[in-house]
């Protein structure tokens, strides 16, 4: 008893102790932070320091300091390049149009789904809208190429045309933005739905009693609740405004659409990684980052002003004076519900049908597919596509590699998140603010592709599986969600009681914090699994050769280059026509094989998103 009493005194008086003693008392928390901090320094901050090669004529044999200082030469060369103006213009326009469309659509979807009163349909709609996010960019681009094919692509079949859209420069931005909305708009509603879930339901009941229509409830209750998170999302989106989705642009780019698809990110990869022009590509990347930082500061100022003005407007609204006996544009409450459900059903169909079409096409004769005979059901039913996929040793190897990378990477990522988030959730930890800023900086500023590649190379990780995990270190955005969960959902009384009983910080972490945070852990597991399962670009850079390639990278030859492997070609005995037929069957089948694992897993953990992600993302 005396031991517990003395421990209690020690625990409760920690905050009043000298700084040195408080640091010593929390040594276990600093130990948790050690590995994440070291990895962040090596793979985030040292590449930032390596940015100086943008001002040097970097030679690997001479090293960074031994390379000649050339000042702004590389910047001048970039600005004088014939394609410079076009790349800057394309990057800005593609980013701006993407933000213009992709920012409001998730908000509108969230507002609509939140008003649905058919709970079963509401849950099904959310599940379907989330689904495309779990599909890799590689697979999405493969689907785009199939749907836009001039010879029997779904879009051309519906329109009755034979246009090769991917060779049309004027169509590229529309393709890029529309596919991005299809893939991520549903996922983007999660944080807004989480915010709306915390709205006091009595407000809605009072509004109905006062005669407020559905539209008025949205205007006077929902939107004011979303204002702060909308502003935050706008600021975060602006921070990456110049970071056009490199992978999708690169996978969809052709020589004929470069007038609108030639962007800075692709140019940096081509110059730095493919042609080893390290200094030049770093200079181009640094320019891109500098513009991003300027935009982030400007948008932050503007968004703060908008947030203040918007708050003032909503505070001045009087619900009763603006209602019209429960009607929206002349519609009754029941009619409004039916119209809303119908609109949501159409949206759900638009999201679900492409996936359904690929599924039935994977069991159909490709000639029937391109003849327009498989809009609703398979035609010429066959398993030949799947037989060819699973008979290819490269696909099997890639599948096994992806499983390995996903398991190892997920465990590593979740451990790093927890070891970082828990210490930073302890509000009286000396240096907490410093460490938080230390990690958050890396969200908005980095060394760029080439300096990071050079560090990975210098640390001996080329052709090593750990090159996929260590450079990522801590996913800061996810860490913030986990930290907020710890701060708001772990009872402080339990942690204090553990300290009073003499439990160490490690014991508290392992026996209280970890078991009580299974919901947010499930969320982070899914996040990490999706990221590693779908990743192909990191492997392409750091794991040369085919024996270590993950499944998405193996599928690149099939989906993007439209070529069958040697083992697949050897299975065909009917000449070029049969080889082409088999290649088309494999395209559809490989899309299902690549996407299905994540699509199967998600519905089983969806309930944890409601408990975990919402608590971590909204509060705090």
| Helical H segments across 371-392, by residue range | 384-391
pLDDT band at 579 (very low <50, low <70, confident <90, very high): low
pLDDT tens, position by position, 92-150 = 899 889 888 989 999 999 999 988 888 889 888 988 998 898 888 888 988 898 899 88
Own/partner contacts of 440-444, CB < 8 Å, gap of 24 or more, are: 440/476, 440/480, 442/40, 442/44, 442/45, 442/476, 443/239, 443/476, 443/477, 444/239, 444/292, 444/293, 444/296
pLDDT tens, position by position, 477-501 = 889 889 988 988 888 888 888 888 8
Instruction: Report whether pLDDT(504) > 80.
Output: yes
Residue with tokens 């999302």: 233
pLDDT band at 326 (very low <50, low <70, confident <90, very high): very low
The rounded distance, in Å, linking the Cα atoms of 165 and 257 is 9
User: pTM for the whole thing?
Assistant: 0.81
The rounded distance, in Å, linking the Cα atoms of 224 and 541 is 45
Contact 7, 501 (CB under 8 A): yes
Contacts of 574 (CB under 8 A, 6+ apart): none
What radius of gyration, in Å, describes the C-alpha atoms of the chain?
A: 27
pLDDT tens, position by position, 139-187 = 898 889 889 988 878 898 888 888 889 999 999 999 999 999 999 998 8
Tokens, residue 513 = 């914090």
> What is the pLDDT at residue 10?
41
Residue with tokens 């915390």: 198
> What is the pLDDT at residue 311?
46
CB neighbours (10 Å) of residue 178? 13
The rounded distance, in Å, linking the Cα atoms of 154 and 529 is 31
The rounded distance, in Å, linking the Cα atoms of 172 and 179 is 11
């Amino acid at each position: 008893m005396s031991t517990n009493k003395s421990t209690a005194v020690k625990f409760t008086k920690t905050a009043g102790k000298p700084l040195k003693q408080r640091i010593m008392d929390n040594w276990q928390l600093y130990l948790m932070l050690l590995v994440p901090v070291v990895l962040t320094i090596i793979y985030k901050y040292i590449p930032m320091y390596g940015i100086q090669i943008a001002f040097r004529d970097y030679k690997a044999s001479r090293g960074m300091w031994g390379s000649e200082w050339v000042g702004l030469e590389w910047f001048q060369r970039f600005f004088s390049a014939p394609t410079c103006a076009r790349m800057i213009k394309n990057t800005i326009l593609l980013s701006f149009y993407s933000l213009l469309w992709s920012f409001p659509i998730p908000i509108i979807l969230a507002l609509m789904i939140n008003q649905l009163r058919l709970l079963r349909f509401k849950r099904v709609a959310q599940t379907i809208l989330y689904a495309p996010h779990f599909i890799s960019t590689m697979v999405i681009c493969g689907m785009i190429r199939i749907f836009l094919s001039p010879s029997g692509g779904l879009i051309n079949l519906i329109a009755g045309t034979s246009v090769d859209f991917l060779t049309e420069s004027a169509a590229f931005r529309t393709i890029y933005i529309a596919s991005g909305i299809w893939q991520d708009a549903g996922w983007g509603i999660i944080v807004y739905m989480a915010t709306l879930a915390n709205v006091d339901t009595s407000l809605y009941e009072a509004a109905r009693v006062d005669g407020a229509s559905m539209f008025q409830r949205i205007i006077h209750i929902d939107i004011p609740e979303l204002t702060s998170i909308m502003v935050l999302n706008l600021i975060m989106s602006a921070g990456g405004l110049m970071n056009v989705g490199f992978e999708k642009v690169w996978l969809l780019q052709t020589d004929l659409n470069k007038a609108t698809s030639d962007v800075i990110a692709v140019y940096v990869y081509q110059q730095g990684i493919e042609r080893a022009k390290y200094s030049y590509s770093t200079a181009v990347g640094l320019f891109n980052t500098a513009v991003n930082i300027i935009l982030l500061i400007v948008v932050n100022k503007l968004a703060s002003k908008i947030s203040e003005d918007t708050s003032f407007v909503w505070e001045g609204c009087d619900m009763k004076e603006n209602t019209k006996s429960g009607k929206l544009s002349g519609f009754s409450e029941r009619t409004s519900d039916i119209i809303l459900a119908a609109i949501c059903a159409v949206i759900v169909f638009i999201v679900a049908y492409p996936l359904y079409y690929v599924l039935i096409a994977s069991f159909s004769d490709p000639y029937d597919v391109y003849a327009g005979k498989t809009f609703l059901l398979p035609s010429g039913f066959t398993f030949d596509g799947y037989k060819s996929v699973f008979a290819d040793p490269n696909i099997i190897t890639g599948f096994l590699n992806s499983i390995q990378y996903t398991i190892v990477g997920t465990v590593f990522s979740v451990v790093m998140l927890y070891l970082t988030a828990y210490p930073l959730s302890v509000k009286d930890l000396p240096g907490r603010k410093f460490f938080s800023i230390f990690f958050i900086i890396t969200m908005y500023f980095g060394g760029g592709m080439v300096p990071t590649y050079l560090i990975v190379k210098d640390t001996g990780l080329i052709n090593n599986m750990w090159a996929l995990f260590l450079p990522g270190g801590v996913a800061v955005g996810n860490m913030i969600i986990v930290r907020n969960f710890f701060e708001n959902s772990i009872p402080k009384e339990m942690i204090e009681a553990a300290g009073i009983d003499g439990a160490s910080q490690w014991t508290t972490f392992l026996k209280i914090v970890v078991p009580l945070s299974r919901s947010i852990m499930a969320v982070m597991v899914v996040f990490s699994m999706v990221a590693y399962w779908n990743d192909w670009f990191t492997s392409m850079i750091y794991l040369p050769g085919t024996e270590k390639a993950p499944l998405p990278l193996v599928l690149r030859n099939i989906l993007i280059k439209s070529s069958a492997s040697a083992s697949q070609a050897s299975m065909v005995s009917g000449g070029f026509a049969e080889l082409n037929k088999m290649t088309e069957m494999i395209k559809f089948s490989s899309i299902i094989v690549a996407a299905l694992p994540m699509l199967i897993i998600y519905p089983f953990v969806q309930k944890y998103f409601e408990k975990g992600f919402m608590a971590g993302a909204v509060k705090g």
